[in-house]
Structure 1
């Protein structure tokens, strides 16, 4: 069993206008871990108010991927109702710890005068909040699929019952607010679910695509948005995945998309193939 995967991120027009970088990062990979092929998908979106949100997002997806590879190196990659909640929590904790370590390293390097890019304020106060990001994760094996999320953006998947939305995008106490993996209470706000069966189709995306990809009033996926991607990906060969990534990035930065959203957007997709 295997999956075809593709992922890409594109800067939003508002960020391009004000000269900031794309704050999104994403990951989609299939690896042989033990005797299983395992699909992992991660998406992170750096907070607009965070000075180093992009670095937080990149650290999040990289540390999550590393955590899964290490977790399944010592134990069989089996997802059960007993193991899945702890796996999700441990992954989130690993992500948060990695971001805290980056913040500490940057702060110490700046204070020692070893990092010119760190300004005077950073040298004194650089902390987790400066790397704040949302975090979405999915792990799928031949038996089950675990999904978990902190913040906005969304995961949609089909494990045999049609395409469904895992959970509504998470918002904070006020409008235009959300939750971040760097929060002290990240484990309390995290939501997770274990689905029986491997993912036949799966997509995770940041909040920049919510208005295009979801029927927000109904809380359901907008299937016409996803089906062209899944159809093309299902027909692709392994050799075509790099080309698909380029095409996906171009789509995310296209005029029709930018007319609907001025935010950064990232999208990670997977389709199971036999």
Structure 2
């Protein structure tokens, strides 16, 4: 399941939620399951940041559909680079068509691909990926910050491929979470860059125990949580959370 919810700061200034997300499990031709999760956070300083985030998710989903249609492929740094290039091409094309700069669509981009043959994590910008591949929850990639406070890297940056961080695991993800920077202070111990387990445990347990009927209720509950006073007291930013549990 996955959801994005507007932050109180955006409500106050009359803007919209500029986060976008994707989470899907689909069957492979082998009968095995393939998990894809993407999160993108539009830059508040960019005129079209929210649109850039939507374009990033759309481009990533289309790229993956094409890859899966071609058949088997390996998880690698080169696959992450291909994915990011597809996202960049979509955003740059839109910017050119609208007579704007790619920077006007600046957004972060991060996510997870996982199947029984392994797991790939990729990230440009802040936000985080927490997952368990058999040894407990871990932060796959250190969230990126820029040269100054409240700055980060974006998929639209000229050096985006150079700053792209990836991590490949030989095993499938048993539990995975991808989130935008609006949830970092709730989801991570920022001093040690480790997952705050009490934040994730209720979500993972709920997913693992849900019946097929209850699964339909989980996404609205996630939206309610993201917009709750308990969350808004800790962050005024847009917040996105995508979650998955592999059945045992």
Q: Shared fold (TM-score greater than 0.5)?
A: yes
Q: Could you give the per-residue CA deviations for residues 80-100 of structure 1, whole angstroms, max 9, x where no partner exists?
A: xxxx11100000000011111
Which of 54, 60, 63 matches 2:59?
Answer: 63
1:77 is displaced (CA, Å) by 4.1
Counterpart-to-counterpart distance in 1, 2:244 and 2:49 = 26
Match of residue 205 from structure 2: 231
Aligned residues: 247
Counterpart-to-counterpart distance in 2, 1:128 and 1:34 = 37
Q: Could you give the per-residue CA deviations for residues 177-199 of structure 1, whole angstroms, max 9, x where no partner exists?
A: 00000011111000001012100
Match of residue 223 from structure 2: 249
- Cα contact 2:7–2:238 (8 A) shared by 1: yes
What is the RMSD of the two structures over their aligned residues, measured on CA atoms? 1.1
Q: Could you give the per-residue CA deviations for residues 224-273 of structure 1, whole angstroms, max 9, x where no partner exists?
A: 00000000001113443332111101100000000000000000000001
Match of residue 73 from structure 1: 69
TM-score, normalising length from structure 1? 0.88
1:70 is displaced (CA, Å) by 0.5
Counterpart-to-counterpart distance in 2, 1:142 and 1:160 = 13
Counterpart-to-counterpart distance in 2, 1:77 and 1:188 = 23
Match of residue 8 from structure 1: 3
Counterpart-to-counterpart distance in 1, 2:54 and 2:212 = 25
Q: Over alpha carbons, which structure has the higher Rg?
A: 1
Match of residue 221 from structure 1: 195
Alignment of 1:32 with 2:27, yes or no, is: yes
Match of residue 21 from structure 1: 16
Match of residue 44 from structure 2: 48
- Cα contact 2:141–2:167 (8 A) shared by 1: no
TM-score, normalising length from structure 2? 0.97
Uncovered stretches (5+) of structure 1, i.e. residues with no partner: 1-5, 108-125
